[in-house]
Structure 1
Amino acid sequence: MKTMILFGSTYGYTQECATKLTKDLGGEVLLVNAKDKIPSLEDYDTILIGGSIYMGQIQKKIKEYCISNEEVLKNKNLGFFVSSGIPENFDTNIKNAFPESLLKSALSIENFGGELRTEKMKLSHKLLTAMMKKATAKENKPPTEPLPENIAKMAKTILQMVVPTCNTVTP
Protein backbone atom coordinates (compact mmCIF):
# COMPACT_ATOMS: atom_id res chain seq x y z
CA MET A 1 0.00 0.00 0.00
CA LYS A 2 1.41 3.36 -1.05
CA THR A 3 -0.18 6.24 0.79
CA MET A 4 0.00 10.00 0.39
CA ILE A 5 -1.12 12.29 3.20
CA LEU A 6 -1.84 15.78 1.87
CA PHE A 7 -2.37 18.45 4.50
CA GLY A 8 -2.76 22.17 4.98
CA SER A 9 -1.63 23.71 8.25
CA THR A 10 -1.71 27.32 9.37
CA TYR A 11 0.03 27.25 12.75
CA GLY A 12 1.52 23.75 12.87
CA TYR A 13 -1.01 21.65 14.77
CA THR A 14 -2.39 19.93 11.67
CA GLN A 15 1.13 19.23 10.43
CA GLU A 16 1.92 17.52 13.75
CA CYS A 17 -1.26 15.44 13.42
CA ALA A 18 -0.41 14.44 9.85
CA THR A 19 3.12 13.46 10.95
CA LYS A 20 1.66 11.31 13.75
CA LEU A 21 -0.74 9.71 11.26
CA THR A 22 2.23 8.92 9.00
CA LYS A 23 3.97 7.11 11.86
CA ASP A 24 0.81 5.25 12.89
CA LEU A 25 0.27 3.96 9.35
CA GLY A 26 3.85 2.84 8.78
CA GLY A 27 4.87 1.46 5.41
CA GLU A 28 5.28 3.64 2.34
CA VAL A 29 3.71 6.96 3.29
CA LEU A 30 4.51 10.30 1.69
CA LEU A 31 3.64 13.39 3.73
CA VAL A 32 2.94 16.43 1.54
CA ASN A 33 2.25 20.01 2.63
CA ALA A 34 -0.26 21.63 0.25
CA LYS A 35 2.10 24.63 0.04
CA ASP A 36 4.65 22.39 -1.73
CA LYS A 37 4.56 20.67 -5.12
CA ILE A 38 2.01 17.87 -4.94
CA PRO A 39 3.07 14.68 -6.74
CA SER A 40 0.91 12.80 -9.22
CA LEU A 41 -1.80 10.65 -7.69
CA GLU A 42 -1.00 7.76 -10.07
CA ASP A 43 1.51 6.11 -7.75
CA TYR A 44 -0.70 6.06 -4.67
CA ASP A 45 -3.46 3.64 -3.67
CA THR A 46 -4.58 5.58 -0.61
CA ILE A 47 -4.92 9.34 -0.27
CA LEU A 48 -5.62 11.00 3.07
CA ILE A 49 -6.39 14.72 2.92
CA GLY A 50 -6.94 17.27 5.64
CA GLY A 51 -6.39 20.71 6.99
CA SER A 52 -7.21 23.14 9.72
CA ILE A 53 -10.51 24.95 9.98
CA TYR A 54 -10.56 28.72 10.45
CA MET A 55 -13.83 30.62 10.32
CA GLY A 56 -15.54 27.47 9.06
CA GLN A 57 -13.20 27.02 6.10
CA ILE A 58 -10.29 24.72 5.26
CA GLN A 59 -7.20 26.00 3.43
CA LYS A 60 -8.09 27.15 -0.08
CA LYS A 61 -5.37 24.97 -1.68
CA ILE A 62 -6.81 21.83 -0.09
CA LYS A 63 -10.34 22.57 -1.24
CA GLU A 64 -9.26 23.50 -4.77
CA TYR A 65 -7.06 20.41 -5.04
CA CYS A 66 -9.95 18.11 -4.14
CA ILE A 67 -12.28 19.78 -6.62
CA SER A 68 -9.78 19.78 -9.50
CA ASN A 69 -8.79 16.13 -8.88
CA GLU A 70 -12.22 14.82 -7.93
CA GLU A 71 -12.48 12.21 -10.72
CA VAL A 72 -9.06 10.69 -10.01
CA LEU A 73 -9.62 10.76 -6.25
CA LYS A 74 -12.89 8.84 -6.61
CA ASN A 75 -10.85 5.81 -7.69
CA LYS A 76 -8.58 5.85 -4.62
CA ASN A 77 -8.91 4.67 -1.05
CA LEU A 78 -9.78 7.97 0.62
CA GLY A 79 -9.73 9.45 4.09
CA PHE A 80 -10.41 13.01 5.20
CA PHE A 81 -9.56 14.86 8.38
CA VAL A 82 -9.87 18.33 9.84
CA SER A 83 -8.34 20.02 12.81
CA SER A 84 -11.25 21.81 14.38
CA GLY A 85 -11.53 22.89 17.96
CA ILE A 86 -15.31 23.03 17.86
CA PRO A 87 -16.54 19.41 17.66
CA GLU A 88 -20.22 20.36 17.27
CA ASN A 89 -19.36 22.04 13.93
CA PHE A 90 -17.62 18.92 12.58
CA ASP A 91 -20.32 17.84 10.10
CA THR A 92 -20.69 21.35 8.69
CA ASN A 93 -16.92 21.84 8.45
CA ILE A 94 -16.40 18.53 6.63
CA LYS A 95 -19.19 19.27 4.14
CA ASN A 96 -17.75 22.75 3.47
CA ALA A 97 -14.21 21.43 3.06
CA PHE A 98 -14.58 18.47 0.69
CA PRO A 99 -16.79 17.53 -2.29
CA GLU A 100 -19.78 15.42 -1.28
CA SER A 101 -19.00 12.72 -3.86
CA LEU A 102 -15.58 12.16 -2.27
CA LEU A 103 -16.95 12.11 1.27
CA LYS A 104 -19.44 9.39 0.27
CA SER A 105 -16.61 7.08 -0.77
CA ALA A 106 -14.27 7.85 2.15
CA LEU A 107 -13.09 4.99 4.33
CA SER A 108 -12.51 7.33 7.27
CA ILE A 109 -13.46 10.90 8.21
CA GLU A 110 -12.12 12.33 11.46
CA ASN A 111 -11.71 15.48 13.52
CA PHE A 112 -8.25 15.71 15.10
CA GLY A 113 -9.32 18.50 17.45
CA GLY A 114 -7.28 21.63 17.80
CA GLU A 115 -4.81 23.73 19.71
CA LEU A 116 -4.90 27.47 19.95
CA ARG A 117 -1.30 28.51 19.35
CA THR A 118 -1.78 32.20 19.95
CA GLU A 119 1.95 32.89 20.09
CA LYS A 120 2.13 32.04 16.36
CA MET A 121 -1.06 33.81 15.29
CA LYS A 122 -1.49 36.94 13.27
CA LEU A 123 -3.16 39.79 15.15
CA SER A 124 -6.52 39.25 13.43
CA HIS A 125 -6.56 35.57 14.43
CA LYS A 126 -5.55 36.47 17.99
CA LEU A 127 -8.51 38.83 18.25
CA LEU A 128 -10.93 36.27 16.81
CA THR A 129 -9.54 33.62 19.15
CA ALA A 130 -10.02 35.86 22.17
CA MET A 131 -13.65 36.48 21.16
CA MET A 132 -14.20 32.76 20.56
CA LYS A 133 -12.72 31.83 23.97
CA LYS A 134 -14.94 34.38 25.67
CA ALA A 135 -18.10 33.12 23.91
CA THR A 136 -17.19 29.50 24.62
CA ALA A 137 -16.65 30.20 28.32
CA LYS A 138 -19.94 32.13 28.50
CA GLU A 139 -21.80 29.13 27.02
CA ASN A 140 -19.97 26.69 29.35
CA LYS A 141 -18.56 24.79 26.37
CA PRO A 142 -15.30 22.88 26.74
CA PRO A 143 -12.16 24.60 25.47
CA THR A 144 -10.44 23.58 22.25
CA GLU A 145 -8.40 20.42 22.76
CA PRO A 146 -6.38 17.93 20.72
CA LEU A 147 -8.05 14.61 19.91
CA PRO A 148 -5.07 12.27 19.33
CA GLU A 149 -7.30 9.22 19.74
CA ASN A 150 -8.94 10.16 16.42
CA ILE A 151 -5.56 10.06 14.66
CA ALA A 152 -5.04 6.51 15.94
CA LYS A 153 -8.63 5.63 14.98
CA MET A 154 -8.11 6.83 11.39
CA ALA A 155 -4.85 4.88 11.06
CA LYS A 156 -6.48 1.73 12.42
CA THR A 157 -9.47 2.05 10.07
CA ILE A 158 -7.28 2.63 7.02
CA LEU A 159 -4.98 -0.26 7.88
CA GLN A 160 -7.92 -2.62 8.45
CA MET A 161 -9.73 -1.66 5.26
CA VAL A 162 -6.83 -1.24 2.87
CA VAL A 163 -4.04 -3.58 3.86
CA PRO A 164 -4.85 -7.13 2.81
CA THR A 165 -4.97 -9.50 5.72
CA CYS A 166 -3.01 -12.71 5.65
CA ASN A 167 -4.92 -15.78 6.72
CA THR A 168 -2.51 -18.35 8.00
CA VAL A 169 -3.45 -21.94 8.27
CA THR A 170 -1.90 -23.85 11.11
CA PRO A 171 -1.58 -27.59 10.72
Structure 2
Amino acid sequence: MRNLILYATKHGCTKKCAAILSQKLDGEVDLFDLKEIKGVNYDQYDKVIIGGSIYAGRIQKEVSRFCIENIDKLKEKKLGLFICCMNESIKETQINTSFPEELLNSAVVKDSFGGEFNFDHMNFMEKTIVKMISKSDPNLPKVDGKENISKLSEDSINKFAEKINKA
Protein backbone atom coordinates (compact mmCIF):
# COMPACT_ATOMS: atom_id res chain seq x y z
CA MET A 1 0.00 0.00 0.00
CA ARG A 2 1.49 3.33 -1.09
CA ASN A 3 0.28 6.66 0.26
CA LEU A 4 0.97 10.15 -1.04
CA ILE A 5 0.58 13.22 1.15
CA LEU A 6 0.61 16.54 -0.69
CA TYR A 7 0.44 19.77 1.28
CA ALA A 8 1.17 23.48 1.30
CA THR A 9 2.14 25.38 4.41
CA LYS A 10 2.64 29.04 5.29
CA HIS A 11 4.30 28.86 8.70
CA GLY A 12 4.92 25.12 9.14
CA CYS A 13 1.76 23.84 10.86
CA THR A 14 0.51 21.83 7.87
CA LYS A 15 3.97 20.34 7.32
CA LYS A 16 4.01 19.27 10.97
CA CYS A 17 0.55 17.68 10.66
CA ALA A 18 1.50 15.89 7.43
CA ALA A 19 4.57 14.44 9.15
CA ILE A 20 2.54 13.26 12.16
CA LEU A 21 -0.08 11.73 9.86
CA SER A 22 2.59 9.98 7.77
CA GLN A 23 3.73 8.08 10.88
CA LYS A 24 0.21 6.72 11.46
CA LEU A 25 -0.48 5.39 7.96
CA ASP A 26 -0.12 1.77 6.91
CA GLY A 27 2.37 1.09 4.14
CA GLU A 28 4.83 3.39 2.44
CA VAL A 29 4.29 7.14 2.58
CA ASP A 30 5.72 9.92 0.43
CA LEU A 31 5.31 13.56 1.47
CA PHE A 32 5.62 16.49 -0.92
CA ASP A 33 5.19 20.24 -0.47
CA LEU A 34 3.07 21.54 -3.35
CA LYS A 35 5.17 24.71 -3.38
CA GLU A 36 8.21 22.63 -4.35
CA ILE A 37 6.91 19.78 -6.52
CA LYS A 38 6.01 20.27 -10.18
CA GLY A 39 4.55 16.92 -11.29
CA VAL A 40 3.15 13.82 -9.61
CA ASN A 41 3.00 10.28 -10.97
CA TYR A 42 -0.27 9.01 -9.46
CA ASP A 43 0.03 5.51 -10.87
CA GLN A 44 2.27 4.33 -8.04
CA TYR A 45 -0.07 5.46 -5.21
CA ASP A 46 -3.19 3.79 -3.84
CA LYS A 47 -4.21 6.69 -1.62
CA VAL A 48 -3.71 10.43 -1.94
CA ILE A 49 -4.06 12.90 0.93
CA ILE A 50 -4.11 16.65 0.34
CA GLY A 51 -3.85 19.30 3.03
CA GLY A 52 -3.32 22.99 3.56
CA SER A 53 -3.71 25.68 6.14
CA ILE A 54 -6.33 28.37 6.20
CA TYR A 55 -4.73 31.77 5.95
CA ALA A 56 -6.85 34.92 5.73
CA GLY A 57 -9.92 32.71 5.30
CA ARG A 58 -8.57 30.71 2.34
CA ILE A 59 -6.43 27.67 1.67
CA GLN A 60 -3.13 28.21 -0.16
CA LYS A 61 -3.42 28.84 -3.88
CA GLU A 62 -1.05 25.92 -4.57
CA VAL A 63 -3.57 23.51 -3.02
CA SER A 64 -6.52 25.01 -4.91
CA ARG A 65 -4.66 25.03 -8.21
CA PHE A 66 -3.40 21.47 -7.78
CA CYS A 67 -6.87 20.14 -6.97
CA ILE A 68 -8.50 21.87 -9.93
CA GLU A 69 -5.78 20.87 -12.41
CA ASN A 70 -5.80 17.22 -11.28
CA ILE A 71 -9.44 16.69 -10.33
CA ASP A 72 -10.08 13.73 -12.67
CA LYS A 73 -6.99 11.79 -11.57
CA LEU A 74 -7.66 12.54 -7.90
CA LYS A 75 -11.24 11.21 -8.11
CA GLU A 76 -9.80 7.83 -9.19
CA LYS A 77 -7.84 7.48 -5.92
CA LYS A 78 -8.86 6.83 -2.35
CA LEU A 79 -8.71 10.43 -1.26
CA GLY A 80 -8.28 12.21 2.06
CA LEU A 81 -8.55 15.99 2.54
CA PHE A 82 -7.49 18.03 5.55
CA ILE A 83 -7.03 21.61 6.65
CA CYS A 84 -5.26 23.29 9.53
CA CYS A 85 -7.53 25.95 11.00
CA MET A 86 -7.49 27.69 14.37
CA ASN A 87 -11.22 28.39 14.44
CA GLU A 88 -12.87 25.00 14.99
CA SER A 89 -16.35 26.56 15.03
CA ILE A 90 -16.15 27.15 11.26
CA LYS A 91 -14.08 24.13 10.25
CA GLU A 92 -16.87 22.52 8.19
CA THR A 93 -17.35 25.70 6.20
CA GLN A 94 -13.61 26.06 5.72
CA ILE A 95 -13.24 22.48 4.49
CA ASN A 96 -16.18 22.85 2.10
CA THR A 97 -14.86 26.09 0.60
CA SER A 98 -11.24 24.89 0.36
CA PHE A 99 -11.70 21.96 -2.01
CA PRO A 100 -13.75 21.41 -5.19
CA GLU A 101 -17.16 19.83 -4.54
CA GLU A 102 -16.31 16.83 -6.74
CA LEU A 103 -13.32 16.01 -4.53
CA LEU A 104 -15.28 16.59 -1.33
CA ASN A 105 -17.90 14.12 -2.56
CA SER A 106 -15.36 11.46 -3.50
CA ALA A 107 -13.14 11.82 -0.40
CA VAL A 108 -12.98 8.88 1.99
CA VAL A 109 -12.23 11.27 4.86
CA LYS A 110 -12.01 15.02 5.38
CA ASP A 111 -11.25 16.89 8.58
CA SER A 112 -9.50 19.77 10.32
CA PHE A 113 -6.46 19.06 12.49
CA GLY A 114 -6.64 22.33 14.44
CA GLY A 115 -3.99 24.96 13.96
CA GLU A 116 -1.17 27.05 15.31
CA PHE A 117 -0.17 30.67 15.60
CA ASN A 118 3.58 30.46 15.13
CA PHE A 119 4.70 34.03 15.78
CA ASP A 120 8.37 33.09 15.33
CA HIS A 121 7.67 32.78 11.59
CA MET A 122 5.30 35.74 11.16
CA ASN A 123 6.22 39.22 10.05
CA PHE A 124 5.04 42.34 11.87
CA MET A 125 1.91 42.78 9.73
CA GLU A 126 0.84 39.14 10.16
CA LYS A 127 1.27 39.37 13.93
CA THR A 128 -0.79 42.57 14.03
CA ILE A 129 -3.61 41.03 11.98
CA VAL A 130 -3.71 37.87 14.11
CA LYS A 131 -3.85 39.95 17.31
CA MET A 132 -6.72 42.07 15.95
CA ILE A 133 -8.69 39.04 14.74
CA SER A 134 -8.19 37.16 18.02
CA LYS A 135 -9.57 40.12 19.96
CA SER A 136 -12.73 40.29 17.84
CA ASP A 137 -13.44 36.55 17.49
CA PRO A 138 -14.53 34.75 20.68
CA ASN A 139 -13.73 31.38 19.07
CA LEU A 140 -10.01 32.17 18.82
CA PRO A 141 -7.52 32.22 21.67
CA LYS A 142 -6.38 35.67 22.77
CA VAL A 143 -2.81 36.30 21.69
CA ASP A 144 -0.05 38.76 22.48
CA GLY A 145 1.90 38.25 19.26
CA LYS A 146 4.89 36.84 21.10
CA GLU A 147 3.94 33.46 22.56
CA ASN A 148 3.25 30.70 20.03
CA ILE A 149 -0.11 28.93 20.41
CA SER A 150 -0.92 25.42 19.27
CA LYS A 151 -4.39 23.91 19.07
CA LEU A 152 -3.43 20.84 17.06
CA SER A 153 -5.65 17.83 17.63
CA GLU A 154 -3.72 14.58 17.61
CA ASP A 155 -7.08 12.86 18.15
CA SER A 156 -8.33 14.25 14.82
CA ILE A 157 -5.14 13.12 13.10
CA ASN A 158 -5.52 9.63 14.61
CA LYS A 159 -9.16 9.32 13.49
CA PHE A 160 -8.26 10.55 10.00
CA ALA A 161 -5.46 7.96 9.78
CA GLU A 162 -7.80 5.16 10.93
CA LYS A 163 -10.36 6.02 8.24
CA ILE A 164 -7.86 6.28 5.41
CA ASN A 165 -6.12 3.08 6.52
CA LYS A 166 -9.44 1.20 6.35
CA ALA A 167 -10.30 2.57 2.89
Partner of 2:163: 157
2-side partners of 1:57 and 1:98: how far apart? 10
Q: State whether residues 26 and 165 of structure 2, in contact with CA within 8 Å, keep that contact through their aligned partners in structure 1.
A: no
Question: What's the secondary structure of 2:5's corresponding residue?
Answer: strand
Partner of 1:67: 68
Letter in 1 for 2:3: T
Deviates more, 1:125-134 or 1:33-42: 33-42
Partner of 1:27: 27
Task: Detail structure 1 runs of 4+ shifted over 2 Å in the superposition.
Answer: 141-144
Letter in 2 for 1:13: C
Partner of 2:46: 45
Question: What's the secondary structure of 2:10's corresponding residue?
Answer: coil
Letter in 1 for 2:8: G
How much does 1:118 deviate?
1.1
2-side partners of 1:32 and 1:94: how far apart? 21
Matches within 5 A, 1:1-171: 1-37=1-37, 38-136=39-137, 139=138, 141=139, 143=141, 145-161=151-167
Computed over aligned residues only, the root mean square deviation of the Cα atoms, in angstroms, reads: 1.3
Identity %: 36
Bigger share in strand = 2
Letter in 1 for 2:14: T
Q: State whether residues 119 and 127 of structure 2, in contact with CA within 8 Å, keep that contact through their aligned partners in structure 1.
A: yes
In structure 2, list runs of 5 or more residues that go unmatched. 142-149
Letter in 2 for 1:33: D
The TM-score normalised by the length of structure 1 is: 0.88
How much does 1:142 deviate?
5.2
2-side partners of 1:20 and 1:26: how far apart? 13
Describe the superposition over 1:123-158 as per-residue Cα deviations: whole angstroms up to 9, x where unpaired: 22111100122113xx3x352611111111110111
1-side partners of 2:121 and 2:50: how far apart? 24
- Greater Rg by CA: 1
